Structure 1
Amino acid sequence: MIEQVMLNHWSTIFIAIHLSSYDGAAFEVRVLTNQMVAVHGSPAVLGCAFSPPPSLQDVVITWQRTEDKRVVHSYYYGTDQLERQSPAYKGRTALYHGELERGNASLRLARPGRGDTGGYLCSVSTSQGTDKAEMRLGYAAVFSEPRLSILAHDSSFTIRYESQGYPEPEVQWKGCSEQNLTHSSEVLEAKEDPDLLTLKTQVEVENVCNLSWTLVVVNRPLGQVMERTASFIYDDQRTQVDCRGPFALSAMCVAGTLALCTCGLIVLWRRRTKMSSVPQ
């Protein structure tokens, strides 16, 4: 369904381009955007249009990487010709054959990853002429719902957050008065998926009596802004930790302290995630 919507979207654009630019004009190849971002887990469509050909038998389409001239996909003699295709792209590329007669040379790239970033060249040749156009492909992954853990010390608590996404995000911890808090963060390669990074960040606070802290994670390529506020309500009448909420929480007591385990702590985890344009 998503792919069909994308195809209809591209087709509408191609028809508009043909009517406004290609009617009676010289042969031309045009990418629909100079730069785009592929999203982890979704196919990417690299848009490319050319002057509609009189016959598909004369059409030669070649997609290459601009950095090293690797062949990503090729088409001629009315069919795909993938003998010289780079092994990195085998089984992952396709043209929209039903749209070729309209001048649609767009490439569908399945399972995009970090290794696919860079320049792509769309070259088309027909009986009307030869032309090419270049675009750049970026890559990003939405950061996952966080895992929160709390480590209790003798006189402080450490709040830890872990998530996965790509690329390395901007991280900020804020106190209850919106002040910036000193924190530490590290980004590691995700063991289970080489196309993701694991973010680990933490902040240490001196006490947790009716206070709250907010973590802000910004993934600029996707416009993802994720805010997670942890509110701690100390209740000396409780005898256990209340771990309710739509998040993963683990509470740990280090040797020499029983405050978290014996007094009780109510943790409220407020979530807000938005996908929008992030100012550069």
Structure 2
Amino acid sequence: MSTCENLFFLLLLLALTLNCTAVFEVKIPDSSVTGIHGQYVLLRCSFSINKDSSLEDIVITWQTVKSEEVVHSFYYGKNQLEKQSLRFFNRTSLYPSEFKHGNASLKLEGVSPKDAGEYICFVSNSYGSNQATLQLSFAAFFTSPELVIELQAHTMTFVYLSKGYPKPEIEWHSSGTENISELIQTSFQQSENSLYQVTSTLTVHVQSNATYSFILRNKAVNQTVTNVFSLLPGKIPEKAASQRVHWTLVMPIVFLLVILVTGIIFYRHEKHYYIQNKVKTTPSSVLSFSKT
């Protein structure tokens, strides 16, 4: 065999070898995704396709990395959920019609804080097998802040309440520019569903005359909430009129109303008792004379 023929067969053998050992790839477009509280999130995953592959050849399995829980499995041409973790029951789905396009993405509904973590996308078919991982983070939009006003003898305390996830950044500004965050007190308390209850407090003198801004930032979802109100001497901010006022302001009014109503009832009762007693002690002759 000539040198040229030897070279030709070597190149052919090399080409066949490369074709047989072609890498079967599983790719994750987004290495990290964020799921929003109560909504669904799409965990995207793709794999190398082969026109000769069929649904019967495809095996797709999603599972958690840390706890190794089965999130969703598909093989033998259908979903196989016998070994699926109970906490994912009726919350996951794949897209079989998209398998021919190399799409192994998983839809996870009703996202909660417990779903946060690392996930594995494993795919296998007659062409090969491989896997890839992605990180799922959790976030919740903070609710519209509720303003509570506490009125003391010489000061007014403003308390903003909101709930979301994760811990946000809180700022207070005076007159729109001066950062007075060092004067506030902010606390975070996690509820049963793991969301954070944020309580941020600012105390000022009643005679103060300024504009205050409350700013909350949740960078996980690019959320910024800003509330602005003006404090006039001796007056409650107009914006607070439609908001809930603290019981320290409401209770004295309620107490006065109770005393007033009680006094009216007592007065009517005494008047009725006096009239009844007077009628009983009046002589019958006088009564008969008055009737004529």
**1:95-146: per-residue Cα shift (whole Å, max 9, x none)?**
0122111111000000011101110000000000001000000000010111
Which of 243, 246, 250 pairs up with 2:245?
Answer: 250
More helix by share: 2
Find the counterpart in structure 1 of residue 44 from structure 2.
47
Matches within 5 A, 1:249-268: 249-253=244-248
Q: Return the alpha-carbon distance in structure 2 between the equivalents of residues 246 and 66 of structure 1.
A: 51
Instruction: Say which SS state the counterpart of residue 66 (structure 2) adopts.
Output: coil
Q: Return the alpha-carbon distance in structure 1 between the equivalents of residues 165 and 24 of structure 2.
A: 39
Residues 30 and 256 of structure 1: CA distance in aligned 2, closer, same or farther (over 3 Å): closer
Identity %, equivalent residues: 32
Instruction: Say which SS state the counterpart of residue 98 (structure 1) adopts.
Output: helix
Find the counterpart in structure 2 of residue 156 from structure 1.
155
Deviation at 1:41, TM superposition (A): 2.6
8 Å Cα contact 2:63/2:120 also seen in 1: yes
Find the counterpart in structure 1 of residue 178 from structure 2.
178
**1:71-90: per-residue Cα shift (whole Å, max 9, x none)?**
11110001110111111111
Residues 42 and 50 of structure 1: CA distance in aligned 2, closer, same or farther (over 3 Å): same
8 Å Cα contact 2:207/2:233 also seen in 1: yes
8 Å Cα contact 2:140/2:164 also seen in 1: yes
| CA RMSD after TM alignment | 2.6
Find the counterpart in structure 1 of residue 166 from structure 2.
167
Which moved further from structure 2: 140-149 or 247-256?
Answer: 247-256
Find the counterpart in structure 1 of residue 16 from structure 2.
none
Instruction: Say which SS state the counterpart of residue 115 (structure 1) adopts.
Output: helix
Matches within 5 A, 1:121-160: 121-160=120-159
Find the counterpart in structure 2 of residue 30 from structure 1.
27
| Alignment pair present for 1:81 and 2:91 | no
TM-score by length of 1: 0.75
Letter of the 1:231 counterpart: S
Deviation at 1:157, TM superposition (A): 0.5
8 Å Cα contact 2:159/2:199 also seen in 1: yes
8 Å Cα contact 1:145/1:247 also seen in 2: no
Letter of the 1:154 counterpart: A
Instruction: Say which SS state the counterpart of residue 158 (structure 1) adopts.
Output: strand
**1:212-242: per-residue Cα shift (whole Å, max 9, x none)?**
2111111111111111112123467xxxx68
TM-score by length of 2: 0.72
Instruction: Say which SS state the counterpart of residue 99 (structure 1) adopts.
Output: helix
Gaps of 5+ in 1: 1-24, 259-280
Q: Return the alpha-carbon distance in structure 1 between the equivalents of residues 39 and 229 of structure 2.
A: 32
8 Å Cα contact 1:121/1:135 also seen in 2: yes
8 Å Cα contact 1:147/1:247 also seen in 2: no
Q: Return the alpha-carbon distance in structure 2 between the equivalents of residues 72 and 246 of structure 1.
A: 50
Find the counterpart in structure 2 of residue 110 from structure 1.
109
Residues 67 and 231 of structure 1: CA distance in aligned 2, closer, same or farther (over 3 Å): same
Find the counterpart in structure 2 of residue 272 from structure 1.
none
More strand by share: 1
Aligned pairs, how many?
A: 229
Q: Return the alpha-carbon distance in structure 1 between the equivalents of residues 80 and 40 of structure 2.
A: 21
**1:185-209: per-residue Cα shift (whole Å, max 9, x none)?**
1222235xx0422111111112354
8 Å Cα contact 1:49/1:105 also seen in 2: yes
Which moved further from structure 2: 222-231 or 207-216?
Answer: 207-216
